[in-house]
């Protein structure tokens, strides 16, 4: 959860959605909160990472103003080479000391993030781990607590045993998706997400008819065309049909016909007797067929994470 600069109310709503849902488990904020979000972080019992003196001071001030006998737990984030967020390794010990000097705060952990753990032969991960361990050694030599030490994302958890430390931060693995083709099958991951809709309209078109914006899809024979009320506003890539995108209806793999529109798309069902109300599987299994997020990612030249994260908030979530 990240805090957009200058957007306290919007960030608070996003970051605290789990608390609003009644979840009281520990929740880590993986970027340092902006100063005007510090009070919310403390009040809602979130665990932020820190990597600047200003961020530490803002949280300490919020902690002092909050009526609690417990100090605010924070984790120090060290940038060992990802260069997204985190303090430089050479600044880590002094920042850790700065946290420890504030009675309102408790240094509960130290972390970093691997940039190429999914590239099995890349030595950069070992370099990052060595830099991180040097920081840990310097902190311990100074008598500073390291708390919970963590570095590994899903790829690191699977491929870098020495980088698992005290806990791992599994992301894409929660979906049951391997973080890279090279790591497929390392453990038995079961897909946890399916994307489905239903046919809302069926029509029969003659051969030579063209479909959707740009008229880029032409029917080769007389065919049934099914309309499905889902579009790129829901996370189906606009260009997916032009890269071979398919769906499952009645156990058949059928091509998406023409450009995906904002709220709807069409499917060329051929002579399959589709009807209004039929289930349409975009990601998931139906009969003996399966379409995966990895299939979409391969067609769109991206990673599966962008596919599953792209499914929009207006798509209803049903939990089994």
Digit-coded pLDDT (tens) for 20-47: 989 999 999 999 999 999 999 999 999 9
pLDDT by residue (tens digit) across 51-97?
999 999 999 999 999 977 899 999 999 999 999 999 999 999 999 99
Q: Which range, of 14-28, 85-99, 180-194, averages the lowest pLDDT? A: 14-28
pLDDT at position 17: 87
pLDDT greater than 70 at residue 12: no
C-alpha to C-alpha distance for 111 and 32, rounded to whole angstroms:
13
Beta strands in the chain (DSSP E): 28-29, 47-50, 72-77, 105-111, 148-150, 195-198, 201-205, 210-211, 217-218, 223-228, 246-249, 252-255, 265-270, 279-286, 289-291
Q: Is the pLDDT of residue 10 over 70?
A: no
Question: pLDDT at position 11, please?
Answer: 46
Average pLDDT of the chain is 94
């Amino acid at each position: 959860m990240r805090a957009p600069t200058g957007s306290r109310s919007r960030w608070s709503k996003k970051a605290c959605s789990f608390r609003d849902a009644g979840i009281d488990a520990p929740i880590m904020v993986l970027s340092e909160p902006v100063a005007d979000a510090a009070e919310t972080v403390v009040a809602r019992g979130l665990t932020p990472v820190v990597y600047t003196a200003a961020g530490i001071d803002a949280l300490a001030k919020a902690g002092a103003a909050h009526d609690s006998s417990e100090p605010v737990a924070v984790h120090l984030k060290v940038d060992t080479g990802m260069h997204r967020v985190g303090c430089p390794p050479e600044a880590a010990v002094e920042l850790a000391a700065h946290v420890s000097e504030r009675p309102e705060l408790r240094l509960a952990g130290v972390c970093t993030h691997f940039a190429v753990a999914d590239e099995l032969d890349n030595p950069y991960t070992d370099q990052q781990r060595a830099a991180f361990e040097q920081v840990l050694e310097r902190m311990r030599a100074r008598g500073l607590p390291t708390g919970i030490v963590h570095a590994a994302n899903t790829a690191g958890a699977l491929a870098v045993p020495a980088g698992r430390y005290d806990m791992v931060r599994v992301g894409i693995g929660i979906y049951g998706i391997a973080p890279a083709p090279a790591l497929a099958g390392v453990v038995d991951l079961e897909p946890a997400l399916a994307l489905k809709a239903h046919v809302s309209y069926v029509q029969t078109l003659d051969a030579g008819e063209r479909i959707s914006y740009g008229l880029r899809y032409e029917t080769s024979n007389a065919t049934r065309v099914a309309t499905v009320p889902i579009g790129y506003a829901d996370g189906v890539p606009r260009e997916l049909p032009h890269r071979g995108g398919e769906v499952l209806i009645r156990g058949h793999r059928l091509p998406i016909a023409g450009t995906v529109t904002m709220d709807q798309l069409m499917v060329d069902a051929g002579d399959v007797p589709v009807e209004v109300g039929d289930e349409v599987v975009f990601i998931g299994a139906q009969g003996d067929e399966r379409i995966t997020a990895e299939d979409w990612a391969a067609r769109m030249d991206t990673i599966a994470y962008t596919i599953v994260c792209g499914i929009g908030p207006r798509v209803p979530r049903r939990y089994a």
